[in-house]
Chain A
Amino acid sequence: MNSILDIEEQILIKPGVSPKPPVKEPGKLSGSQAVLEAFLAEDVDIIFGYPGGAIMPIYDALYDYQDKLKHILVRHEQGAIHAAQGFARASGRTGVVFATSGPGATNLVTGLADAMIDSTPLVCITGQVFAHLLGTDAFQEVDVLNITTPITKWNYQVTDATEIPAILAKAFYIARTGRPGPVLIDITKNAQLEKFPYEGYQRCEHIRSYRPKPIIRKNYVEQAAKLINEAEKPFILWGQGVILGKAEKEFKAFVEKSGIPAAWTILGASAIPTDHPLNVGMLGMHGNYGPNVLTNDCDLIIAIGMRFDDRVTGRLDKYAKQAKIIHLDIDPSEIDKNVKATVGVWGDCKETLPMLTKLVEQKVHTQWLQRFYDYRKIEHDTVIEKELNPTGEKLTMGEVIHQVNELTGGDAIMVTDVGQHQMVTCRYAKFNKSKSNITSGGAGTMGFGLPAAIGAKYGAPERPVIAVIGDGGIQMTIQELGTIMQTEVNVKIIILNNQFLGMVRQWQQLFHDKRYSFVDITSPDYIMVAKGYGIEGQKVSERADLRSALEKMLNHKGSFLLEVMVGKEDNVFPMVPQGCSVSEIRLS
């Protein structure tokens, strides 16, 4: 955000004079320097941000840390926070954001809400007006703390530089431990400027009022194992908790020993590979047929690191009423929140899963598993085949993803925005490795995709990153093409353009008598826009050109924007209509 420099620090600009480092006082650091020292001690090496008046002292200090801390200048603060989310999700590390006070900070709000519901570890630093100006309606003063309270795991306002090392240590500790989440630290300008005797940085290991990991009670694990061993039709539902807990190996061992079919929420996708024989597919509104129908037929659900979101459960009073429920979660408030657990195993699944694996009997559920395969066959014949290998004139979203799978072999990180293309990507993308599906789940934030893909590339530079975005979502944060231009980060962007806000249109078609109310959205010439940003692009409307265009995109050095024109009124199926039970899933 632009800002008028505060009078206190107006400087005369003399042309031709090179910038001088600030005067050093031995043993003393400014609050700003203490922030950056904290980053180094926490192994931060990248910051996504945007400068402005109230955060200028920190940016000034950053000038001298450029060799250790990479700063990505975004085009809008929302882009910064989504990029930090993408970084955190791809790397398993904490994302760091800088924004200035007032509008800079309020632009973070959507990303904070998104990170909160999707449990993404972030530390956001916002500048704030001088402490003596708080509450005076000063220029760019906004009550950021109270705005962000419901959408942060923790937030705090620093008004005194001496607090900074301990508060930053607390911030990183809270963001990454337990159920991760976003933390916002608002630092007044005086605290950034003040110098104080610096006594080093001490990482935080314990806060007396905060217990990130509930103690595991062995008897609940034993009860859970007993239910599993007695079950004839057990069914595993897993969520992002497996990935956040870095428990993919432990999870796979549990699934394989127990022989239980397992289905995933969209944030849990990729924790075990797509083609694992016990991976029976996706849960929820646009999930796979078998997992939804058989939820209401199984005799035991083992929910691991997932929160029974309404998009997963459909109508709650008709959800798995016949089944006993085992719920493993690190967050005690999730147990019994939406679905009452028969046995709640509170704890970190990295620890609880091996305990459970030890106690469960080695089994194969051949007949039960076959039922999932049978439903898969039905879904394949009625929906999937038409989507992946269409014979119609128009391109489908599914065939684009299918072709991407064939070209990448499933090694790419798929980043999606929100809408039809998101559901199609989650359904059809092939994942070989964990942390491969980055999407806005709980919040459903359109505009998430492009900036998140930028961050994801920095989080996993060795992996190809493919952003799949709709023609609606891309226009919400299209300015981040500027960030790509400046940083030359290598992100492949596929715009699936159906010339509609497709998901809303689908609902209007199915549930509002085709009254298409304001879903007809026009697009700019994306290839020309990309060109304006120095990014190469291509538009594809014919099936014959798709494969070669995708190859060109993947082989291109640097970023590439591929616009694919797809069927205007294609729908995503299967679908569990809102207010219906999961077993009432529709195939058309």
Chain B
Amino acid sequence: MQKQEFTFTIYAENQVGLLVRIAIIFSRRKINIESFNVSPSEIESISRFTIVIHETEEVVKKVARQIEKQVEVLKVYYNTNDEIVWQELAMYKVSTDQIAEKVQVERLLRQYGARAVVIRKDYTVFEASGHREETDKLIDFLSPYGLIEFVRSARVAIIKASSGFHEKLKEFEEAQPGEEVVENEYLNKQEEVFSM
């Protein structure tokens, strides 16, 4: 099986220590995490982890089960890149003098979809969001003019086929969850990628 990028989407309780519990499932198996994000989800009190790794689907599936086994995790999904819509946010700090003198700022803003967040006498901060390649291009563009600082956020992703977690949560809150949420949902469809 080929290694490729997979994005985990994890719905979990907002609990101190859960981040470590999830992170060490990867480190124990010596899997490098490419990107790790925790944010609120569509439901109050439930956190949404978005984790990107480069691995085979077999490994990803096993890791997903190990994560879902954790007491405070409600549900784990994993997806290939064509099953999700995703973005990363990047920020670039450059010298205002340099930029004003040598760059056609207008072109920069249009061509790279960048936005000026702060413009001061001494420096300017641009932001751009998009896929890795897109934000990388802007680095290449700005580097010759002296890129003072650069930072990029973790990936956040929306699953194309998902209908959200509201309905599922109702099931979880029942003492006897319905078949919708049981673990062996995809047992018979082992090749199916959408969920474990």
Contact = CB atoms under 8 A, between A and B. Distances in A.
Interface of A: 145-146, 149-150, 153-157, 174, 205-211, 214-215, 217, 220, 331-333, 335-337, 344, 346
Interface in B12-26: 12-13, 16-17, 20-21, 24
A331 B172 CA distance: 18
A333 B74 CA distance: 15
A573 B124 CA distance: 75
A174 B73 CA distance: 14
A155 B20 CA distance: 12
B17 A209 contact: no
A346 B73 contact: no
A235 B187 CA distance: 23
Interface residues of B, number: 30
B62 A332 contact: no
B175 interface: yes
B119 interface: no
A331 B62 contact: no
Contacts of B177: 211, 215
Contacts of A211: 172, 177, 181-183
Contact of B187 (A153, A206, A346): A346
Interface of B: 12-13, 16-17, 20-21, 24, 28, 61-62, 65-66, 68-69, 71-74, 169, 172-173, 175, 177, 179, 181-184, 187, 190
B62 A149 contact: no
A209 B12 contact: yes
Contact of A205 (B73, B175, B190): B175
Contacts of B13: 209
B172 A220 contact: no
A148 to B, nearest CB: 10
Contacts of B20: 146, 149
28 contacts: A146-B17, A149-B21, A149-B24, A150-B24, A154-B72, A157-B17, A174-B71, A206-B175, A208-B172, A209-B12, A209-B71, A209-B74, A211-B177, A211-B182, A214-B184, A217-B179, A331-B69, A332-B65, A332-B69, A332-B183, A332-B184, A333-B62, A333-B65, A336-B190, A337-B62, A337-B65, A344-B184, A346-B187
Contacts of B17: 145-146, 149, 155-157
Nearest to A344: B187
The 8 closest A-B pairs by CB, nearest first: A333-B65, A215-B182, A332-B183, A208-B172, A154-B71, A214-B183, A209-B74, A210-B71
Given A333-B62, A336-B62, A337-B62, A346 B183 contact: yes
Interface centre among B71, B187, B190 (most CB of A within 10 A): B71
Interface centre among B72, B177, B187 (most CB of A within 10 A): B187
A208 B74 CA distance: 8
Contact of B68 (A146, A332, A337, A346): A332
B126 to A, nearest CB: 38
Contacts of B179: 215, 217
Nearest to B179: A215
A220 B16 CA distance: 38
Contacts of A214: 182-184
B17 to A, nearest CB: 6
B187 A220 contact: yes
Nearest to A146: B20
Q: From B20, B21, B184, name the one whose CB has the most chain A CB atoms within 10 angstroms.
A: B184
A332 B187 CA distance: 10
A153 B181 CA distance: 21
Contacts of B182: 211, 214-215, 217
Contact of A209 (B21, B24, B172, B184): B172
B184 A208 contact: no
Nearest to B23: A149
A220 B188 CA distance: 9
A155 B187 CA distance: 30
B72 to A, nearest CB: 5
A153 B183 contact: no
A155 B15 CA distance: 11
A157 B15 CA distance: 11
Nearest to A333: B65
Contact of B173 (A154, A157, A208, A220): A208
B63 to A, nearest CB: 10
A326 to B, nearest CB: 13
A214 B62 CA distance: 17
B184 A346 contact: yes
A214 B184 CA distance: 8
B117 to A, nearest CB: 34
A302 B154 CA distance: 44
Nearest to A215: B182
B66 A209 contact: no
Q: Which of A156, A210, A333 has the most CB of B within 10 A?
A: A333
Contacts of A149: 17, 20-21, 24
A268 to B, nearest CB: 21
A289 to B, nearest CB: 33
A220 B62 CA distance: 20
Nearest to A334: B65
Contacts of A150: 24, 28
Given A211-B177, A336-B62, A337-B62, A217 B187 contact: yes
A342 to B, nearest CB: 11
Most buried by B among A153, A174, A211, A337: A211
Nearest to A217: B184
Contacts of B71: 153-154, 174, 207, 209-210
A311 to B, nearest CB: 20
A333 B66 CA distance: 6
A209 B72 contact: yes
Contacts of B184: 214-215, 217, 220, 332, 344, 346
A210 B12 CA distance: 10
A163 to B, nearest CB: 12
Contacts of B65: 332-333, 337
Given A149-B20, A332-B65, 16 more contacts: A149-B24, A150-B24, A154-B71, A157-B17, A209-B71, A209-B74, A209-B172, A211-B172, A211-B183, A214-B184, A215-B182, A220-B184, A220-B187, A331-B69, A333-B66, A344-B187
A536 B174 CA distance: 58
Contacts of B66: 333
Contacts of B175: 205-206
Contacts of A335: 187
Nearest to B72: A209
A153 B13 CA distance: 16
Contacts of A207: 71
